[in-house]
């Protein structure tokens, strides 16, 4: 098993005719993901990387039975693209787009909850179940099939952590995104990993800002029985200065790396200070 994506994923690419959409469609297909359709309004009837293009998500779903979507639509239109996917019956929407207006994200996520659709992102690298499907922009070479579940707010750190799971590999890796408002949280992924028999250990990659990591730590303490490892990025970040992600800012003394590390430690999460430490820690627990 895995979580979110697998061999049964039938992927639709919104914004497939753009530079990024076309490039990553090719990369996902080469990995083995079943990319069944693309959507760009006004471009229906074309083919991109051998994938048929439709004018709307509704048309694409009817023709191909797509059940997941990835969005490469410019920020100002991404919120509407998510809504279009939801109303067409798509149950997993991965929004890679950065800079989506916060109110657009809030509206789309609220609608998704009423339609039983899961949104990953916005501003995320996507999801990969190694050896099964890649729905995102992550470099395939960093991943291998295995038993460690990884959930991360960071992008490139996701790849580095995954590459350091050593001989254990990964069941699924989820980049949830670093915006203040996102559709899938640490807790959502922790619950799925806990319930997934293929996942034997979990890694949380957090960063400064907000209290998502602290809430995740509480959930781990109450619900998760598998070994959990934690890494916090931004330990040297100065207060009131945004570091990379829109949500990565220490404000009014809260959201610091120290607070998050203490919360992890209190919950029994094994703290990793360097990605290279992970393999040995996994060997000690698995």
The residues annotated with a catalytic role in the active site are 245
For the chain, where are the alpha helices, taking DSSP H only? 19-31, 57-64, 75-87, 102-114, 156-163, 186-195, 212-223, 257-266, 278-285
Residues 6+ apart with CB under 8 A from 20: 72, 96, 137
Q: Is the peptide bond before 122 cis (omega within 30 degrees of 0)?
A: yes
DSSP-based three-state secondary structure for 120: strand
* DSSP letter (8 states) at residue 208: S
Greatest distance between any 2 Cα atoms in the chain: 56
CB 121 within 8 A of CB 109: no
């Amino acid at each position: 098993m895995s979580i979110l994506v697998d061999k049964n994923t039938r992927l639709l690419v919104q914004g497939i005719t753009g530079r990024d959409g076309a490039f990553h469609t090719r990369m996902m297909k080469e990995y083995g993901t079943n990319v069944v359709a693309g959507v760009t309004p006004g471009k229906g009837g074309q083919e991109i990387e051998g994938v048929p293009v439709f004018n709307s998500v509704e048309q694409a779903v009817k023709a191909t039975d797509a059940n997941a979507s990835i969005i490469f639509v410019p920020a100002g239109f991404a919120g509407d693209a998510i809504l279009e996917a939801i109303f067409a019956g798509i149950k997993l929407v991965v929004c890679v787009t950065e800079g989506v207006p916060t109110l657009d994200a809030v509206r789309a996520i609220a609608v998704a909850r009423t339609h039983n659709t899961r949104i990953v992102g916005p501003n995320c690298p996507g999801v990969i179940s190694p050896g099964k499907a890649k729905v995102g922009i992550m470099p395939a070479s960093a991943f291998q099939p295995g038993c460690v579940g990884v959930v991360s707010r960071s992008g490139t750190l996701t790849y580095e952590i995954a590459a350091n799971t050593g001989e254990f590999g990964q069941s699924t890796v989820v980049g949830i995104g670093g915006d203040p408002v996102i559709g899938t949280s640490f807790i959502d992924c922790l619950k799925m990993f806990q319930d997934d028999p293929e996942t034997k250990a979990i890694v949380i990659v957090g960063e400064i800002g907000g209290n998502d990591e602290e809430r995740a730590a509480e959930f781990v303490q109450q619900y998760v029985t598998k070994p959990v490892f934690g890494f916090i990025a931004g330990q040297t970040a100065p207060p009131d200065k945004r570091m990379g992600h829109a949500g990565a800012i220490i404000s009014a003394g809260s959201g610091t790396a120290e607070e998050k590390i203490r919360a992890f430690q209190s919950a029994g999460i094994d703290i990793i200070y360097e990605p290279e430490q992970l393999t040995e820690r996994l060997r000690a627990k698995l």
